[in-house]
A and B are shown apart, each in its own frame.
Chain A
Amino acid sequence: MNEKTNNPVRLYKNNTDFLGHSYGCHENYLMPRRLAWDTLCQGMVAMFATRQILCGSGKFGWEEEDRFLRPGFQISQRSDFFTEMQSVDTMQRRPLINTRDEPHANADAFRRFHVIIGDANLSLFSHYLKIGTTSLVLQSMLNGAPLERFPRVEEPLSTLKRISRDTSWKWECRTLEGHPTTGIEIQRQYLAIAREYCAGEPSDWLQVLNDWEEALNDLERDPMRAADRLDWVAKYRLLEQFREAEGLQPDDPWLQSLDLSYHWLDNEQGLFYGLMQQGAFRLPYPLAEICHGRLTPPMSTRAAVRGYCIERFGPAVELTQWDHLTLRSGDKRIELDLRNLFDVQLIRQSLKVIGAAQTVDDLRYLPFAKLV
């Protein structure tokens, strides 16, 4: 409740107000600089134009920057708002490829690949596919997949919108050479590359490949088969059932209010939560593991090192950021430089050192520690 106005405060996890005002759900991928920027961009454009068939959140309305266009369903919340191929902007004239490069790591060795085109997902499976498939395509590049293997689409910006607004679910488009193709076919090409170049990755990632393929198969046969995983399908099916039951026209503004309610973060009122409570969604991992992960970083990351230091010696922490930590030890300070801490073995050894430390002072034995 807002104490000043006495109005209830509602939280929504979405990307639009249906009037052309959009706000993002950004992803950040830490990428070694050895991968050329042009290669990265050229390889990813068709991915961003088509991955919405897996991870769009669905929207009842067509918009463009700063205005509502017309009623009608589309599979993505964000695709209406992209008008440029590449730039640093995020709030107007948004680009398919964003160039913001502020890595939370050694900037000489790494870049940030800042992705602003994703929808805010409610379905944990959609979210998992969004991050998982994008990570696998990026990893394929790092594992040596040649650029010429990656699909390219003609007029990516108009393709992006056309796919989002295509309620025939065919998602037809053209390759850069002008050959007819589809969003599903483009995704299958990315999947084939990832299967070939990420075959040696840990089993979690192989599971993403299988789930990616299953979702594409279902989308091809009948998209409604994916209503137990994908946000846009779940939302569309639910609202269509309601529309038919209530005899609403496809342009009834009530549909937008229901769309909004899908994203309402309220267990009692939100429509996504209504579906979740009925067990209508599959989960990529057991819910207990997902909940645990919200507060516990993977033990192979520097986040675990950072978190463990704070857990063990929180009162001594003077300063912390993504890539460094400063702790007071008597009249000295111990600075932990995490900018290059990505080696899994080193991280595991460091966790042992932190676990065995009797005092803050013992952290000086970490190989990235400096006593000042």
Chain B
Amino acid sequence: MPDRVQKPQPPAPAPGGGGGGEGPRAPEVNKPNTEELLKRMRRVDPDQAKRYRQRTGE
């Protein structure tokens, strides 16, 4: 199993939206702003999936 401990430290600061810091994870999880998301969902075309076609692939 590969040893992943000695990785170089990331040079860039954390992009916005979570993460960052020195800990192993980003434990702070917000409850989603449901209203904002519902607005985004209402913009979804109800027939979008009907127009979506793909070929079987690997």
Contacts and interface: CB of A to CB of B under 8 A. Distances in A.
Contact of B31 (A139, A201, A280): A280
B4 A282 contact: no
- Summarize B's interface: helix, strand, loop or mixed: loop
Contacts of B13: 288
Interface residues of B, number: 52
B48 A291 contact: no
Interface residues of A, number: 67
A281 B10 contact: no
A279 B57 CA distance: 33
A274 B17 contact: no
A238 B35 CA distance: 11
Contacts of A281: 18, 29
A106 interface: no
Given A23-B56, A258-B44, A299 B8 contact: yes
A21 B55 contact: yes
B18 A300 contact: no
Interface of B: 1-8, 10-15, 17-21, 23-34, 36-38, 40-50, 52-58
Interface of A: 12, 16-19, 21-24, 26, 66, 90-92, 116, 135, 139, 198, 201-205, 207, 228, 238, 241-242, 245-246, 252-254, 256-261, 269, 271, 274-293, 296, 298-301, 344
7 shortest interchain CB distances as A-B pairs? A287-B19, A23-B57, A292-B10, A256-B49, A279-B30, A257-B48, A254-B46
